[in-house]
Chain A
Amino acid sequence: SQQGEEDPQALSIQEGENATMNCSYKTSINNLQWYRQNSGRGLVHLILIRSNEREKHSGRLRVTLDTSKKSSSLLITASRAADTASYFCAGGTSYGKLTFGQGTILTVHP
Chain B
Amino acid sequence: GAVVSQHPSRVICKSGTSVKIECRSLDFQATTMFWYRQFPKQSLMLMATSNEGSKATYEQGVEKDKFLINHASLTLSTLTVTSAHPEDSSFYICSATGGATLGTDTQYFGPGTRLTVL
Contact = CB atoms under 8 A, between A and B. Distances in A.
In this complex, the member of B4, B95, B106, B110 whose beta carbon has the largest number of chain A beta carbons within 10 angstroms is: B106
A1 to B, nearest CB: 8
A50 B1 CA distance: 23
Interface of A is mostly: strand
Contact of A101 (B43, B91, B105): B43
Contact of A43 (B32, B46, B109): B109
Contact of B106 (A33, A41, A102, A105): A33
A57 interface: no
Given A48-B105, A92-B105, A98 B111 contact: no
Contacts of A88: 43-44
The 7 closest A-B pairs by CB, nearest first: A42-B109, A96-B104, A43-B109, A42-B111, A100-B43, A100-B44, A42-B112
